[in-house]
């Protein structure tokens, strides 16, 4: 409606840096006829978001906003002025009788007809009127090469230009025309044809599968003197900008420079090209000096909760506990969010193993994981769900889950689902109020008994639940800084003269604050007080070198007196 609007934010992660898949959501939105805005930088998230709502209202469509990891996880100064974006209403589109909005008793085929016959044209009219797609450099009067790009790839192209020493004046002198798409689907054909006029070649720079390139080819097919279009593949059919991973600015610069020099010689560009080619060759031959994988934080509850008894097996799931797969935890395999345990439901009838554990974060449980538990109960599958209640959605900002879910609420929910047995394991068994409403089939245990509790649950036929309750260590640190979480007035240190360097403290705690200390007597251990989150599981190591200190704080280095030079 004219006062409505729907904007869909796509959190894409092309290199799977914080995701379980290297995903590209564009084609999902294309399948449901949803225009896709592609912001380049934080400012354009606001600008294109405003355009997106206006487009949604005008054309009565949902609009997608591509929030690539590289853009959304960055910091920038922005202009938040209300009047920064001025919306222009198209004058070259005639609305059908009754408009385009939803209405009561609307037939399904009538909706489809309105979508296909009118809404797409309304979208294109809006894109034209508001000049969402724009020419950045004209290429001068004799432009021969055109570059089409959008979003993050646009910034990569601009970086490539800088690396080649190409500014706007130089681009026009070289005959390079740059076209920045604000909306990557649908591609507005008239502005595209105006851009392509007189060009001999168009280079499409986009990450992952080609969405822009195929539309460019489709729209320019059949016009007089069409330009050569390259993108994913070059002129000979070899890979130019591969689908896998992400694009490298050096490779973009090399591809652009090679094609510029075919049309116009330029010693400076040629010199820059050689330097970039040499740099890429060196990078290709460079070996990683060290390889470090992500790990649990100091004092993370998953250091303890993801352990499984000897000879048993666990599945991972979505959340920080996913990293248990990279440790010696007998944990292998994972599912999508909400599918935790469903893989074992299908595997169990064909496996000689009678039981597995399934890790399930509290946020995922609240999202959709309870449905998998329901299925496991119904299918009478022998599985123990380890619901890891860390009191925060740790991976995405530490916020609490929707609805204020608590441990006793989860216990009552899974009991109502029909699980055979519930065991609550925690670092503080006596912290729960005496009037807490627990299910009849639940017991409470200290985390020191985790191994025994897991073995007992594994012997029970059917679906069982182990609730592990311990607050996220990173969230503890945040809350302590705000004064909203208890801060024990004690610290643990290691007497290096007593320590024999056996490492049992590290084995027991799996904590990255337990660090090696090289001494004249050999390698010992120390506690990094700057990263310690006071979990204290390291004291479970079989060692007399640990000292608990009360009423002390880590010494801070005194500031140095820096004499200003004159």
Q: Which two tokens stand for residue 2?
A: 């004219």
**pLDDT band at residue 558 under the 50/70/90 scheme:** confident
Q: Is the model's pLDDT at 288 over the cut of 80?
A: no
Per-residue pLDDT, 400? 76
pLDDT tens digits along 73-101: 889 999 999 889 999 999 999 999 999 99
Per-residue pLDDT, 290? 73
Highest mean pLDDT among 185-194, 277-286, 328-337, 543-552: 185-194
- Mean pLDDT, residues 158-167 taken together: 98
Q: Is the model's pLDDT at 169 over the cut of 80?
A: yes
pLDDT tens digits along 442-471: 999 999 999 999 999 999 999 999 999 999
**pLDDT band at residue 565 under the 50/70/90 scheme:** low
CATH hierarchy code of domain 137-284: 3.40.50.920
Q: Is the model's pLDDT at 566 over the cut of 60?
A: no
Per-residue pLDDT, 396? 67
**pLDDT band at residue 557 under the 50/70/90 scheme:** confident
Annotation: CATH topology of 302-475: Rossmann fold (3.40.50)
| Residues above pLDDT 90, as percent of the chain | 85
Distance, in Å, from the CA atom of 181 to the CA atom of 27, rounded to the nearest integer, reads 17
Distance, in Å, from the CA atom of 516 to the CA atom of 505, rounded to the nearest integer, reads 11
Per-residue pLDDT, 310? 95
Whole-number Cα distances in Å, 230 to 111, 177, 271, 277, 451: 37, 15, 24, 20, 59
Q: In which residue are the tokens 């922005």 written?
A: 78
Q: Is the model's pLDDT at 562 over the cut of 90?
A: no
pLDDT tens digits along 369-406: 999 999 999 999 999 999 999 987 766 667 777 778 89
Per-residue pLDDT, 553? 83
The packing angle between helices 189-196 and 212-220, to 10°, is: 80
Distance, in Å, from the CA atom of 432 to the CA atom of 430, rounded to the nearest integer, reads 6
Q: State the CATH class of domain 488-550.
A: alpha beta
**pLDDT band at residue 344 under the 50/70/90 scheme:** very high
pLDDT tens digits along 27-53: 999 999 999 999 999 999 999 999 999
**Side-chain half-sphere CA neighbours of 23 within 13 A:** 14
Contacts of 40 (CB under 8 A, 6+ apart): 71, 150, 151, 152, 154, 155, 180
Whole-number Cα distances in Å, 191 to 86, 179, 214, 297: 20, 10, 16, 51
**Burial of 114 by CB count in 10 Å (0-12 exposed, 13-18 middle, 19+ buried)?**
buried
The CA-CA-CA angle for residues 208, 210, 215, to 5°, reads: 155
Q: Which two tokens stand for residue 445?
A: 């245990």
- For residue 153, give the 3-state DSSP assignment: helix
Per-residue pLDDT, 272? 97
Residues of the chain with CATH 3.30.70: 488-550
Per-residue pLDDT, 252? 97
Residues of the chain with CATH 3.40.50.920: 137-284
Distance, in Å, from the CA atom of 407 to the CA atom of 424, rounded to the nearest integer, reads 9
Residues of the chain with CATH 3.40.50.970: 302-475
Asked if residues 259 and 173 have their Cβ atoms less than 8 Å apart, the reply is no
Per-residue pLDDT, 182? 98
- Mean pLDDT, residues 420-440 taken together: 94
Distance, in Å, from the CA atom of 421 to the CA atom of 464, rounded to the nearest integer, reads 5
125-152 burial, b if ≥16 CB within 10 A, otherwise e? bbbbbbebbebbbebeeebbbbbbbbbb
Distance, in Å, from the CA atom of 182 to the CA atom of 290, rounded to the nearest integer, reads 40
Q: Which two tokens stand for residue 483?
A: 């004064």
Distance, in Å, from the CA atom of 292 to the CA atom of 543, rounded to the nearest integer, reads 29
Per-residue pLDDT, 399? 73
pLDDT tens digits along 466-519: 999 999 999 999 999 999 999 999 999 999 999 999 999 999 999 999 999 999
CA-closest candidate to residue 269, choices 256, 252, 251, 257: 257
């Amino acid at each position: 409606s004219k006062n409505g609007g729907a904007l869909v934010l796509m959190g894409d992660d092309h290199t799977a840096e914080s995701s379980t898949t290297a995903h590209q959501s564009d084609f999902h939105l294309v399948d449901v006829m949803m225009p896709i805005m592609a912001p380049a930088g934080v400012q354009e998230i606001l600008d294109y978001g405003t355009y997106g709502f206006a487009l949604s209202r005008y054309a009565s469509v949902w609009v997608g906003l591509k929030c690539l990891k590289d853009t959304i996880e960055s910091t920038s100064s922005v202009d938040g002025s209300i009047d920064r974006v001025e919306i222009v209403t198209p004058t070259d589109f005639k609305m059908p009788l009754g408009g385009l909005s939803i209405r009561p008793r609307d037939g399904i085929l009538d909706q489809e007809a309105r979508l296909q016959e009118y809404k797409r044209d309304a979208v294109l009219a809006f894109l034209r009127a508001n000049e969402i797609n724009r020419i950045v450099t004209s290429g001068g009067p004799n432009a021969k090469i055109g570059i089409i790009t959008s979003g993050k790839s646009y910034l990569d192209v601009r970086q490539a230009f800088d690396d080649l020493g190409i500014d706007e004046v130089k681009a026009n002198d070289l005959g390079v025309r740059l076209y920045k798409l604000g909306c990557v689907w649908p591609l507005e054909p008239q502005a595209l044809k105006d851009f392509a006029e007189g060009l001999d070649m168009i280079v499409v720079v986009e990450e992952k599968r080609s969405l822009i390139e195929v539309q460019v080819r489709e729209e320019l097919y059949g016009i007089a003197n069409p330009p050569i279009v390259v993108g994913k593949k070059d002129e000979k059919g070899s890979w130019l900008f591969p689908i896998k991973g992400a694009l490298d600015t050096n490779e973009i610069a090399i591809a652009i420079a090679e094609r510029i020099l075919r049309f116009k010689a330029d010693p400076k560009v040629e010199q820059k090209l050689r330097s970039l080619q040499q740099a890429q060759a060196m990078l290709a031959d460079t070996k990683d000096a060290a390889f470090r994988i992500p790990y649990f934080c100091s004092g993370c509850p998953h250091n303890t909760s993801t352990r499984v008894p000897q000879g048993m097996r666990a599945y991972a799931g979505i959340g920080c506990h996913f990293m248990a797969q990279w440790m010696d935890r007998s944990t292998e395999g994972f599912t999508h969010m909400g599918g935790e345990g469903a893989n074992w439901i299908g595997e169990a009838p064909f496996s000689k193993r009678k039981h597995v554990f399934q890790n399930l974060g509290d946020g995922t449980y609240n999202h959709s994981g309870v449905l998998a538990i329901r299925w496991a109960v119904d299918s009478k599958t022998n599985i123990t769900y380890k619901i890891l209640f860390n009191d925060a959605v740790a991976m995405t900002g530490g916020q609490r889950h929707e609805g204020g879910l608590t441990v006793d609420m989860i216990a009552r929910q899974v009991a109502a689902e029909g699980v055979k047995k519930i065991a609550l394991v925690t670092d503080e068994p006596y912290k729960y109020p005496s009037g807490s409403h627990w299910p009849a089939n639940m017991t409470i245990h200290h985390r020191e008994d985790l191994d025994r509790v897991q073995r007992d649950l594994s012997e029970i036929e059917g679906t069982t639940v182990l609730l592990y309750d311990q607050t996220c260590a990173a969230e503890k640190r945040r809350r302590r800084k705000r004064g909203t979480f208890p801060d024990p007035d004690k610290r643990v240190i290691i007497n290096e003269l007593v320590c024999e360097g056996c490492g049992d403290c590290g084995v027991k705690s799996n904590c990255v604050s337990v660090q090696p200390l090289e001494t004249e007597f050999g390698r010992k251990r120390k506690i990094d007080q700057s990263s310690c989150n006071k979990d204290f599981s390291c004291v479970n190591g079989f060692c007399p070198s640990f000292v608990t200190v009360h009423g002390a704080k880590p010494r801070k280095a005194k500031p140095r007196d820096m004499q200003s030079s004159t």
